[in-house]
Amino acid sequence: MPQHIAIIMDGNRRWAKNRFMPAALGHAAGAKQVRDIVKTCAEIGVSHLSLFAFSTENWKRPEEEVSSLMGLFMSYLQKEVDSMNTNGVRLKVVGDKSRFAPALQDLIVRAEQQTANNTRITLTVCANYGGRWDMVQAAQAWQQAHPGQSLQALTEEALAPYLSTAYAPEVDLLIRTGGESRISNFMLWQAAYAELFFTDDLWPDFSPARLKEAITWFAGRDRRFGSSAPL
């Protein structure tokens, strides 16, 4: 059983386009799907689930779409936090949150505080997040914590505690929906040895059954982490 699953939730806009709907309705349909996936992960014993909700590159999208995504994020936090708290879900939001509106930043802080003591599963929502940003901010944080040390003293082990997801184990299984076969600057460090599962399912169609299929596929992988295959 993978302990940390990360998902690139791709295909909301195409799902809406296929139904002659605006992109905003595709994103709304995708947000609804999150609840079932979180519930399924909690039920089968996955301790950490990370979702790529909004990348640092997504600001390039049309202003109207970005605005609707921000509104959807706020709505999600307002509607789902009580349910998450009841069901033992700890919420973490990682990424450069400074670009978000103050009201959204406040909602994030309150949601994280409200669910901080939950232990059944940790749900990480990656918003205004990029893997390259994560490594840069970790290096900067390390330097600030060790102002008298040379960069020669910086090792992988020393940097790891400053990554945005230092509270979580490294990613075991990375899933991307939507038919693309790339990781798009998502958790580059954390997913260094992750198994990669790509599916043509658009995110609003990604069901708990498909998730279990991905986990079954994962269970059959021979994870050697760079060592030689057994004789």
The binding site for Mg(2+) comprises: 10, 195
Assess whether 118 carries a catalytic annotation: no
Distance CA 223, CA 218 (A): 9
Q: Which of 10, 128, 134, 172 is catalytic?
A: 10
Neighbours of 29 (CB within 10 A): 18
In the annotation, is 10 catalytic? yes
Annotation: binding site for substrate? 11-15, 27, 55-57, 59, 61, 176, 182-184
Tokens found for residue 128: 């205004």
What separation, in Å, do the N-terminal and C-terminal C-alpha atoms of the chain show? 24
CA–CA dist 223, 18 (Å, integer) = 38
Known binding residues? 10-15, 27, 55-57, 59, 61, 176, 182-184, 195
Structure token digits, residue 89: 């879900």
Using the 8-state DSSP alphabet, how is residue 14 labeled?
A: H
- Strand duo 173-176 + 4-8: pairing: parallel
Q: Would the CA dihedral through 205, 210, 215, 217 be positive or negative?
A: negative
Query: For residue 49, what are its two tokens?
Result: 């689930």
- For 37, which DSSP code? H
Catalytic residue among 58, 85, 87, 118: 58
Report helix, strand or coil for 58. Answer: helix
DSSP code at position 207: -
- Residues annotated catalytic, as ranges: 10, 58
